[in-house]
Amino acid sequence: MDKVSVSIPTTEFPIKGNFFLYLLIALLILSGILVPVYTLMNDPNNRRDNSEQNNESNGNGYRSNHDKLDIKIDAEKKMHQLGDHFNKHGRSMGYSSKNEYGDAALKFAQENCKNPKAQIFEATWNGPGNPGNRQQIAICFENKTIILNRITGQIVDFYEGVEMRGLINIIKIQ
């Protein structure tokens, strides 16, 4: 048998050093796109609904459990600075006394903390004065807003409008 030697000239196999670099970059780009798409396709809830953070109380004054919020409202305590808030908002809202204004605020909070149409926010107080705890819950419905102390459940303010006066770091929780 004769020995045959085969050689492939490099001019017929035109792969240069940059080819492997471009191939690596293309693979990284594809994996950066395909992995998140695959994750979303196989987990459409994006893991948020099942996370422990959203299902159990974390000491924030409310308990979130599959779209159910348990917001603490202290009916025994009067509204923070009731007289000042009545003069600032209560009269223009049509209430004739501090007690009527305070009762309406409590009723609004109790009715709308479970209302699925109400918007509920968690925020930090950054305005003037000291409401005790700076962490607040705001409930907005039908152009009225009530602000609650997140930890104690005390009513802090009740007014017409849905702007978040003095609140920062606002997070919608419903």
d(CA 126, CA 134): 8
Does 86 lie in the same domain as 27?
A: no
pLDDT score of 142: 92
Does 165 lie in the same domain as 89?
A: yes
pLDDT score of 144: 92
Does 150 lie in the same domain as 80?
A: yes
Q: What is the pLDDT of residues 104-155, one digit of tens each?
A: 889 998 898 888 899 999 988 887 666 555 788 889 999 999 888 888 888 8
Instruction: Please check whether residue 152 lies inside any domain of the structure.
Output: yes
Instruction: Please check whether residue 162 lies inside any domain of the structure.
Output: yes
d(CA 113, CA 121): 11
**pLDDT mean by block of 10 residues, the chain; 174 residues:** 67 66 84 75 55 41 50 78 79 87 89 89 79 78 89 87 82 86
Instruction: Please check whether residue 84 lies inside any domain of the structure.
Output: yes
Extract the tokens encoding 171: 């997070």
pLDDT score of 51: 43
Element (H, E) at 39: helix 17-42
pLDDT score of 118: 92
pLDDT score of 14: 60
Q: Is 9 helix (H, G, I), strand (E, B) or coil?
A: coil
Does 143 lie in the same domain as 75?
A: yes
pLDDT score of 141: 92
Does 73 lie in the same domain as 38?
A: no
The domain in which residue 31 lies consists of 15-42
Domain count, the chain: 2
The reported pTM is 0.57
Instruction: Please check whether residue 130 lies inside any domain of the structure.
Output: yes
**Of the candidates 164, 166, 158, 163, the residue with the CA atom closest to the CA atom of residue 104:** 158
Instruction: Please check whether residue 124 lies inside any domain of the structure.
Output: yes
Instruction: Please check whether residue 55 lies inside any domain of the structure.
Output: no
Does 33 lie in the same domain as 119?
A: no
d(CA 109, CA 76): 13
Contact assessment for residue 160 and residue 92, using Cβ atoms and an 8 Å cutoff: yes
pLDDT score of 59: 43
Element (H, E) at 122: strand 119-125
Does 73 lie in the same domain as 23?
A: no
Positive/negative CA dihedral, 157, 139, 155, 147: negative
Instruction: Please check whether residue 8 lies inside any domain of the structure.
Output: no
Instruction: Please check whether residue 2 lies inside any domain of the structure.
Output: no
CATH (domain of 81): 3.30.2310
